[in-house]
Amino acid sequence: MSVGRFDLNEVVDGAVHRFDRQIGPEIQIDCLYAKEPLPLKGDSSALEELFVNLVTYACDAMPNRGVLTIATENVFLDESFCAQNLWATPGHYAVLHVKDTGRGISKEAIEHLFEPFSSEEKAGGCAGLGLALVNSIVTQHDGFIHAESAQENGTAFQVYLPLVQPIDEPSAEQKKAQGAPGGRGTVLLAEDEAMVRAVVSRLLRNAGYRVLEACDGQEAVELFQMHKKNVRGVILDVIMPRLDGFKAHDQIKSLSPDIPVIFASAFSPQQLNGQFALIDGVNLVQKPFNSSVLLNVLEKSLGDRRNDGGV
C-alpha cells in the first residue's frame, strides 16, 4: 500500500467527475461534501477504488432509474453512541456516504454483504469480490463500514475512516477571522432524499441555525404555515414528490412575499427550461455543491433581507 496524506473530499470529487461520464441520464447524482478538508493517511488510489466499487454496486441496484447520493462529513463518535451501535469505535472520523434508491436487500442478507461471493453481492453486479474488497480496503485504513437497507427502499453505506488529526469545531472568533458565516434563526429545509437532508441539516445546525426539515414540497408548505413567524429563510430542492420546489415556492411566497428562498438542484437554469427566469431574486445552488457555498449564499440572502428590514 502506497501511504501518503490526502483529502477525502478531493479523492471523491475527482472520482465523481470521472465516473459521471459513465453513468446514464436515468441516474441522478446528488453530492454534498464537507465544508472543511478531511485529511486522511493511506493509499488514495485504494480509496478511489473503494469508492468506485460502492458506486458500481449502487448503480447496478438501480437498473431502470434512481438517485445516487454521495456525501462526506466530519464526525465524532462518542462512547455513548458506540455503546448503542456496536459496529462503531469512538473517535474522530471522515465519513463517506453512498446511497442508492434501488431494490434494497433483506436484513438477513446484509449481515453477509461483505463476504466474498455473497449472493447479494453477485446480484449487485460486483463480480463477487467488489464489496469484500471494499471491506478489506477499509480495514487496511483502520476504519469500518456500516450498511443499512430495506427491500425496495435502497441501500446506504457509511465508510468511517480515522482523521489524521481531530478537527475541532472552530470558535466564534476563528469563524469570524476565517470569514465563515455564522447562522442565526430558523431555516426551513425541504429535501426528499433522507441522507442529503440529514447531512445538510447537520451542516446548518453546526453553523448556528435552527432547522425545520421537510421531506417534500407539500410538507414544506405545511411547516411554513405553522412556523412562518419564526422562519428566516427556506431551502427547496427543485425535484420533489407531491409538490415540487417551484410550486412550494409559490405557495410559501403567497404566505410571506419577502421570505428568502434558495433552490438546490443538479440541473442548471437552462436545463430547467428557464423557469428560474420567471422568479425575481432567485438563488440557485447547484448540485453537487460545496457546503461553504450553500452557507455563504444563505447568509447573503438573510443579510439582504435584514437590510430590507426583515427579522
| Mean pLDDT, all residues of the chain | 80
272-282: average pLDDT: 52
Decide: pTM greater than 0.75: no
Structural contact between residues 31 and 288, judged by C-beta atoms closer than 8 angstroms? yes
Digit-coded pLDDT (tens) for 212-230: 999 999 999 999 999 999 9
pLDDT above 60 for 171:
no
Residue (of 130, 157, 143, 168) closest to 41 by Cα position? 143
Mean pLDDT, rounded, for 144-158? 85
pLDDT at 93: 93
Q: List b or e across 165-186, with b for residues whose CB sees 16 or more CB atoms inside 10 angstroms.
A: eebeeeeeeeeeeeebbebeeb
pLDDT score of 197:
85
User: Which domains are delineated in the chain?
Assistant: 4-162 (3.30.565.10), 172-307 (3.40.50.2300)
Provide, rounded to the nearest whole percent, the portion of the chain with pLDDT above 90: 32
Per-residue pLDDT at 293:
82
pLDDT above 70 for 91: yes
